[in-house]
Structure formats: structure tokens, C-alpha cells
Structure 1
Amino acid sequence: MTTGGDGIPEQQQRPSRLADLADLSSLPPERVPAATPIEAGEDRLRTARRELAVLLGEFRRTAVLVPLDGNGDLWSAEQNGVRWICAFSDEEALSRFARARGDAEREWVYQTVLGARLLDVMVPLLPGPAGVALDAGSEDGGMLFPPVAGIVPDVVAVDLGGMR
């Protein structure tokens, strides 16, 4: 029996066939077993969660424009029992929203607020479930940050029984 430079017999130095099978990346694509529908769904879910975490982190670190209503409060709208604070990434997005509402002629007074402050401080102050709608009325539909755990404080997250 010959040994390698490390004193281990050559037969033991080579990866076993089992190791080859475990390393599916070495197989040609047509030989890699297809993921089951459940595995594929779990992969899509993990990918979507990562993408949401990136978007949420970006939003939390970004100053956004929030129009004020006639009383000087943050402008919001209710849909299906959820109150949405309307926030905009820039004046152009706010302008598109105003035009879509047929309200482009009036002056839109707004306040600049950090996304984290909207989610962590302002949302809990609203009665009932609330979230943030970013760039409502935009061509791509904008982004919703709903009142769920991981986005708003747990005490107001509807999926954790935090209904007010």
C-alpha cells in the first residue's frame, strides 16, 4: 500500500464515492436531482424574505417625504381596516401621486421623516392596525410595509395579536 506525503494511504486520501454524490455541484445540470415543489417553494420564500429584509433596511435608513393633512398631521389613508401613512421617496413621486388624485394644483406641505421613525414611532400612535405605503400611485405600485412582526413593533403587529 502506498502512502501520500502526509502518511495517509492514497486510498483514504481520495474522496469517497459518497462524498462525490454529496457534492451535487460537481454533477452536470441534467444529473442534479430536481428540487421538489416544496423545496422550490421554500427557496422562493427564503429569497423573498432576504429581498424584503434588504428593502426594509434601506427604507428604515432613508428620509422620506410625508405630506401633512389640513390639521398638520401626517397624511394617511384607510383601506380594508388598515391605516396607511403615505410616504414618498422624493418630490417627483409625491407630484405623481398628487396628479393621480387630480389634486396637483394645490400646494402639498410635507415633512421629511426617517423611515425607521415612521415604523417605530408614528405607526404605534395610530388607532388600529397601521403601516406605511411608500410611493403610492407610482407606475410600479410602490411598496407596502404592513403592520406585521419584523416591520412594525411587535406590540402593534396584527400577526402577533397586537391589535389596538
Structure 2
Amino acid sequence: MERSGAALAERIAERRSGVGDPRALVGEMRRSVLLVPMSGERLWSARLGGVRWVYGFTDEVALARFARHRAPGDRPMEYAALLGARIVDEVVPALGEPAGLAVDVATEDGSMFFPPVVGIVPESAAVDAGEAQGVWA
């Protein structure tokens, strides 16, 4: 069942405060519809620490905050609404390099990174494939 990003934002807040189940957070990310900014025909992403991070936002307020920092002015930012599972299962592997999902990056103390590891992305795209299995915590 698809869900808005509100439930994901709540799970992120739980994890950032030191509580909550990492598996539940990953599950919520997979079920949530995220707003992904577009740059022309491409999804907005950035490279940091050897990983390409696809940006996703839990709501239009978080996306607008990002847009004000990245594209100041009154010009609206184009975006796609994608299921988190589609981002990590299809988009990330298609990038052909280590890639993960960064959620709500412009939100003060509210961002969450889903790295390219087994349990989040397909094993074929995971940087830790072949190592001890488990969900990132």
C-alpha cells in the first residue's frame, strides 16, 4: 500500500532520537511516495563520499525548503512523485555506480540517508554484497 511521506517523516524522527526499528524505517521508506526534484529530464542527485545520492522529500514543504537553497527565486522546481521502493530497486541500480537515497536533505535535523547496502538496495547495487547479511541500522 502506497503512503504519503508523513509516516516516513515520523519514523525518521524516531530514529534520529535514538528509538524506532531500522527495519520499520526501511519498510516505511519503501511504501512512501517521495517527491524527487528534476533537473531537465533527470532526477536530482549529488555525489558525496563516493556515493551518488538521489534526493527525495516527504512533502512539498521539505521540497520547497530545498528549492529555496538550491534554486533561489520564484521559479517552481519540477519534481516526480516516486515510490521509495522504485527509487531504491530501479533507479539506484540503473545509475551504475554506488548510489543511495537521501531523504529531506534540507530539513534541519530531519534528513536520513539510505545507503547502498544489502537490505536497502538490491544486492547487485549494494557495496557490501557478499559480506555479512543484515539490514542497515
TM interval, short-chain normalised: 0.7 to 0.9
Matched residue, 2:65: 96
Take 2:120 and 2:51, find their aligned partners in 1: how far apart are those partners? 15
Answering whether residue 127 of structure 2 is matched by residue 158 of structure 1, we say yes
Matched residue, 1:59: 29
Matched residue, 1:120: 89
Take 2:94 and 2:74, find their aligned partners in 1: how far apart are those partners? 31
- Matched to 2:45, the amino acid is S
Q: Which runs of 5+ in 1 are unaligned?
A: 1-47
Q: Which runs of 5+ in 2 are unaligned?
A: 1-17, 131-137
TM-score, length of structure 2 as denominator length = 0.76
- Once the 2 structures are TM-superposed, how far is the Cα of residue 105 of structure 1 from its aligned partner? 2.8
Q: What percent identity do the matched residue pairs reach?
A: 52
More helix by share: 1
Take 1:82 and 1:109, find their aligned partners in 2: how far apart are those partners? 24
Judging changes above 3 Å, is the alpha-carbon distance between structure 1 residues 124 and 96 closer, same or farther for their aligned structure 2 residues?
same
- Once the 2 structures are TM-superposed, how far is the Cα of residue 106 of structure 1 from its aligned partner? 2.3
User: Runs in 1 of length 4+ with deviation above 4 angstroms?
Assistant: none
Matched residue, 1:140: 109
Contact 1:65 1:89 in 2 (8 A): yes
Give aligned pairs, total.
114
Using CA pairs under 8 Å that are at least 6 residues apart, name the structure with larger relative contact order, 1 or 2.
Answer: 2
More strand by share: 2
Counterpart secondary structure, 1:67: strand
Counterpart secondary structure, 1:116: helix
Offset from partner CA, 1:23-53 (integer Å, 9 cap, x none): xxxxxxxxxxxxxxxxxxxxxxxxx7x6211
Matched residue, 1:80: 49
Matched residue, 2:79: 110
Take 1:61 and 1:104, find their aligned partners in 2: how far apart are those partners? 33
Contact 1:95 1:104 in 2 (8 A): no
